[in-house]
Amino acid sequence: MSRPAAVEAEPPVLRLDRVFRTYAQGSDRLEVLRGVDLAVGAGEMVALVGPSGAGKSTLLHLAGLLERPDAGEIHILGQRADRLSDAVRTEMRRTATGFVYQFHHLLPEFNALENIVLPQIIAGARRRAALTRANELLRQVGLAARATHRPSQLSGGEQQRVAIARSLANAPRLLLADEPTGNLDVTTAEAVFDMLVRLIRGSRTGALVATHNLDLAWRMDRVLELRDGVLVAYEGG
């Protein structure tokens, strides 16, 4: 009897192998990342903690292909991405990754619905499909009734909900979030985080979330600390 074919394991949505990043600071060189290794699986939420200035944003920028490492490898969905051309990297950012920042960065001249439609149009979606997707995302984040409101007409928590919906507009496999609740009060932060978890758990999206909020960090699958330029398991204290 022949043996069944082995099922190939799904690659991580994000993998970093021995990633280094150094910046010039006058005549000195500032080593921010000193050989970072990381893997984020599909549907996994990984918290990234560490003091301000530790390099969390740099790590997110590298993972999101906004910067190139000085050395090491970055793989997105099993494809090595750090050596791709700028055009291909841009396309990968549009289709494979989503970004959420501390400040929502919504376009003030567009309403909530339009802010979610726009990245889909840029990625090549047809307008009708983009509108359908945007309306569904607004429903999922509880803002269907606020679709025609501009950012200035929304509360801080509502604006961040729209920003999260926008980050998921193109159904990315990797979500990168930099202090997504850092500009919100405690109650609103909890509500926004709960919504983010629900959206991620309901998909195969992997998420790397930088946060100073340890209460929220411990609710994710793993908590990693960026310490002296490398990632280590965070143990508290």
How far apart CA 61 and CA 99 sit, in angstroms, is 10
User: How many other CB atoms are there within 10 angstroms of residue 41's CB atom?
Assistant: 18
Q: Where are the domains of the chain?
A: 14-108+172-233
Q: Alpha helices of the chain — where are they, by DSSP H?
A: 56-63, 86-96, 112-122, 127-140, 156-167, 186-201, 214-217
Please count the CA atoms within 13 angstroms of the CA of 233 that sit on its side-chain side. 3
Residue 7, pLDDT score? 44
Per the CB < 8 A criterion, the answer to whether 215 and 223 are in contact is: no
Rounded to two decimals, the pTM is 0.87
Q: What is the CA radius of gyration of the chain?
A: 19
pLDDT, residue 8, reads 55
- pLDDT, tens only, 67-82: 899 999 999 999 999 8
Least Cα distance to 231 among 23, 14, 37 occurs for 37
CATH class of 14-108+172-233: alpha beta
- Reported as a single tens digit per residue, the pLDDT across 173-207 is 999 998 887 777 888 888 888 888 888 887 789 99
pLDDT computed for residue 6 by the predictor: 45
What average pLDDT values come out for the chain (237 residues) when binned by 10 residues?
54 93 83 92 92 88 92 93 90 87 84 94 91 92 92 90 90 89 80 84 87 89 92 79
